[in-house]
Amino acid sequence: MNQELLNLYPKGLWDIFGHICDAPHPSKHETAVIKWYKEWAKEHNIPVEQDETGNLLFTVPATPGFENRTPVVLQAHCDMVPQADSDKAHNFLTDPIEPIIDNGWVRANKTTLGADDGIGVAAALAAITDPNCQHGPVEVLVTIDEETGMTGAFGLKTGFVKGNILINLDSETEGELYVGCAGGMDANFHRTYTTVATPAGMKGYKLFVTGLHGGHSGMDINLGRANANKIATRFLQKTMRDFGGCVACINGGGLRNAIPREATAIVTVPEAKAAEFEAFAKEFECTVKKEFALTEETLSLTVTAVETPAQVIEPKAACQFLNMIYAIPNGVQRMSDSMPGLVETSNNLANFIAENGEMSAKCLLRSSVNSAKEALGEKMTAIAELADCGIELTGSYPGWNPNMQSPIMNTCMKVYKEKYGVEPKVMAIHAGLECGLFGVCYPDWDMVSFGPTIEHPHSPVERVNIESVGKFYDFLVEVLKNVR
């Protein structure tokens, strides 16, 4: 663990977060960190249960004098999004995260940090072992696999948790209270293809689209950032149409909830047009760099000569697939009418792949309006059918409808104003929080969400503001003291 973290406030929180960084915990591979949580609970004599899905529940009694307070559930998820820079050799299944203190922030060494939501878990565990934290009965619910499908929230059963108030610790701007979030759904496209022999007289190239910022497909979708898959598709379409090129394979993007930062492809073009094609690639790079000059200052598009592949994708299938990718809507689709500045509906074209006879693409659709989410799914289905491509709409989860009369929200507002002298902003968030799913099996829960300031989650430049972590923790402790 980076011992310098222990010099930060609050020490208990940063100590726990440092140990979380040491235990690999990418989505669906949380075994190591769960093992550490159980050892930590045993060390502190705190009972912990694990349900059949894999979620953990820590239970602590009220501090003296607070026995009659309403029971509270502190909730965060234990998995992280595994993203690394292309020049960083990092195995997320075995290697620890390397936190670095950098000018008032904590970031990682060319990987995601996992402050989303390691800081939330660390805050909850620190609070229940803090001798200065006064509270009623508290449970800490740590869910699994939030980032790739909300598996833990989907699998939570009625009766496993006993509390009446849920405080979600997975928000990412200090000073904001969240009382609503978008729902989501996955769109999975798939079709097979055949290959044909590469025509004679062709030269092979590998396309690289790199240097994009990426980011969280909910929090950052409104920032106007480029999608590597869309840029690659535009280039590949022109390669086929203007140069008589062929496509051998494609691999772009990655996780469903991360804006794609990189894409690659192998193409062939007639040798007689090789010089013209190389000049076109440089011109195309200049074009897209100008288009995204304010948001993607390090964008790079290059082609490098490689061995000419013996087989390429059958041209009609390649054309249909690229047309489909080009037609799929990406980014913000509609802003909210009821909450100015909030994205209502969006889509993230997360990845597209064509290799080994299989073509696929994955999208994450989000909306705070369920009918709009369903309508966007229907649009995806229509596009797939036009491209002779199969599609499955899966993993649909509900949004969290705001309750502006929420008692816990009012308590949080009162505490924040008294403690910091300003009123917190009451917000809804376009990202998906687990609160929407919790409301299905625990419909009577009174819920609120807050957290520290985390920038660029789901990307290798993720960082968390140190001062905001202290304020967030102090606020959490004060809220627990004031719950009635």
Q: Which of 146, 147, 174, 434 is catalytic?
A: 146
CB neighbour list of residue 105: distance below 8 Å, 6 or more residues apart: 455, 463, 464, 465, 466
* Given the residues 15, 22, 79, 174, the one annotated as active site: 79
Cis previous bond, 407, omega within 30:
no
Which of 97, 195, 49 lies closest to 463 in space, CA to CA? Answer: 97
Q: Coil, strand or helix: which one is 109?
A: coil
Q: Could you count the other beta carbons within 10 Å of the beta carbon of residue 289?
A: 17
Residue 358 annotated as catalytic: no
The C-alpha atoms of residue 449 and residue 408 are separated, in whole angstroms, by 10
Alpha helical stretches, state H, 295-365: 315-327
Q: What is the 3-state secondary structure (H, E, C) of 34-45?
A: HHHHHHHHHHCC
CB distance 450 to 419 below 8 Å: no
Instruction: Identify the DSSP state of 84.
Output: B
Q: How far is residue 149 CA from its own chain's centroid?
A: 10
Instruction: Clarify whether 220 is annotated catalytic.
Output: no
Give DSSP secondary structure letters for 121-176: HHHHHHHHT-TT---SSEEEEEES-TTTT-HHHHH--TTS---SEEEE----STTE
- Point out the residues that are catalytic: 79, 146
